Amino acid sequence: MTAPLRLPRALDYPERTDVQEGPTERWLIGVQASIIARGARLRAWRLRGILRATNRHQARFSAMDEAGLRDAAREVSLALREEPDRLPVRVTGEAFALIREVSARVLGKRHYDVQVLGAWAMLRGQIAEMRTGEGKTLCATLAVTTAALAGRPVHVMSVNDYLTARDAEEMIPLYDFFGLTVGVVQEGQDADTRCALYRCDIVYGTNKEIAFDYLRDRAILRRAPGNLRRKIDRLIQPTTEPLRLRGLHVAIIDEADSVLIDEARTPLIISGGETEEGGFDEALFREAMDVAKGMIEGDHYRIPRGLRRIEMRPEGLDHLDELAGEREDAFGIPVIREHAVVQALNALHIYNAGEAYLVMDDKVQIVDENTGRVMPDRSWSDGLHQMVELKEGLEITKARETLSRITYQRLFRRYAHVGGMTGTARDAAWELWSVYRLAVTKIPTNKPDIRRFAGDRLFTTEAKKWAAIAARAREFHLAGMPVLIGTRSVTASDMASERLDAAGLPHQVLSAAQDADEAEVIAQAGVAGRITVATNMAGRGTDIKLGEGVAAAGGLAVILSERHDSRRVDRQLEGRCGRQGEPGQVEAFLSLEDELMRGKGAANLRRIGHLMSRAFGASSAGWVLRLRQKAVEALHAEARRDLLEQDRQLSRTMAVSGELE
């Protein structure tokens, strides 16, 4: 007797179950990650079978006319849909060959073999590390189109609205040929618009916009978890908000290390209407700020080495108890009082103007610490935003109720399939596997890398460093080489600009304060004699093309004005020159007074550096900054692990209480 046909269960909102590992499992995964992190180059070699499978079809597709290619696209789509979750090499190679041929005809761009390798790595659930200028945007179209032809909705994520809109617009002719619809999710769109966009086969959007839309969906699912329940609700109450996403199917992430690592230290929070629940009124804010100003670091509180947070000492808690006495108002409640004072201390000592935020139009505008861009519609939660407003003498806005929250770690673990690309992933290979189960694959360059790296130049003071940078920038300028000076904050950019002005050197400053023309400014940074000052990775994702005669002069000169908390960020800046085998030069000018050496735990290293400088010269103390950078990287990784563990505990607590998030 023939067995009855079993159809797959239709999922209303597909997403992968977030597995909660125990301590032993996490330890074993950590050991596994240490082994996997060392195989980045070997994995690329193992992927080379896709090149044979792709090139096998090249002559056949090259001989076809447009109608033949469209017929082939339908046949390939049907073949891919037979095994959409596995995508065999044979069928994927045929899809890649077809996409490459169509791309050459409609875009005028044919994918290199290294781009084929990168796309196959992403479809295999890996992070493809590809040098800047290797064409990651075009590379992604192979993976995105193949997944979409297999019938799987695809989210293509990048770090800002400009890049998502630019990449989608550039690649739409390719997707149109295959009959694939494309939506671009941007800040400021209403709910109905977003719902329509998420019905497209391919959706481009920033990681933040898609993540927050997912949180909004979770809030709806929490209120009405069943598909039938929501349909009934919409019949009874037509104004009920619909779900935005179609679930979490496939995510292709550009600048993957920035999204999955750098931004993973901050939880994503959706807030609702204004609230004063819990006693967070203006009087409490003001009293907590006054108390915080009178507290002494070391006696009442401490700032853990390398971490951006305040920890109260027992003496500090006793001090607060004495101040509260027998009061029965909000300040008299220990948990509220302590929380408010800690947030006031955070505002005073951790969140600094020009780095964490800017004051614009009488409002506190948060600066994304990873990109240097202003996020005008974002606010800190749990009273922190109000404390910063109070610190700056601004009108205090009302606190808002937290409706839903999640971390990037838990969000991306829920996608059925994740792949990504970036220029700097190997330094984070251990964490990418241990948290997300994503292996890093080192994709070779299409042309040899001929950049020149000068040794680090170390100075005892910041003033000496900036003077040397201005002098070196003048040398490059006179030689006809464009210069890109990388800084880590708006304040540092202003300091660099002052030094260049004093030296009579024309330049442009690209920072969070004026990011509207960011891409245009950074794209022109390769013109002969141009000097550009850029915060962190402002302009990331935009190619710097060399102007006429620049290659002969030596290419783009990149000057690192200080080391960042992560070596990966330094490598990102270094990667702005030498694209596609072009010449370029990288130099680092550092000082023992840099921001990296000012944090907690750096005092002893700074003293050692000064002693060595006096005894053997400044260059002898370079290892001090490298040691400090490694220590800070370890502390940030610890902070991300702590956040993930807190999120797990919160998830378990909410599960017991019946909440979904």
Q: Which residues are annotated as a binding site for ATP?
A: 115, 133-137, 543
User: Could you tell me where the beta strands, DSSP code E, fall in 226-335?
Assistant: 250-254, 268-274, 301-302, 311-312
Distance CA 387, CA 394 (A): 10
CA atoms within 13 A on the CB side of 90: 3
Q: Which structure tokens are listed for 436?
A: 């997300």
Would you call 50 helix, strand, or coil by DSSP?
helix
Distance CA 415, CA 191 (A): 22
CB atoms within 10 A of CB 56: 13
CB neighbours of 404 closer than 8 A, spacing ≥ 6?
215, 216, 218, 219, 222, 269, 270, 661
Residue with tokens 């619809």: 181
Measured in residues, the chain has a length of 661
Q: Which structure tokens are listed for 384?
A: 């922190």
Q: Which structure tokens are listed for 527?
A: 């013109």
What CA–CA distances, in Å, run from 2 to 8, 9, 82?
Answer: 18, 21, 22
Give the CA angle between residues 506, 483, 523 to the nearest 5°.
90
Q: Which of 475, 425, 468, 430 is nearest to 560 (CA)?
A: 468
Binding positions are 115, 133-137, 543
Residue type, 618: A
Q: Which of 508, 456, 530, 542 is nearest to 158 (CA)?
A: 542
The DSSP output letter for 656 is H
CB atoms within 10 A of CB 445: 16
With the CA atoms of 279, 282, 286 and 288 taken in that order, what torsion angle do they form, in degrees rounded to the nearest 10? 20
Distance CA 607, CA 593 (A): 11
Distance CA 657, CA 655 (A): 5
Q: Which structure tokens are listed for 504?
A: 């009579």
Residue type, 77: S
Would you call 19 helix, strand, or coil by DSSP?
coil
Distance CA 535, CA 368 (A): 11
CA-based R_g, the chain, Å = 27
Q: How far is CA 150 from its chain centroid?
A: 28
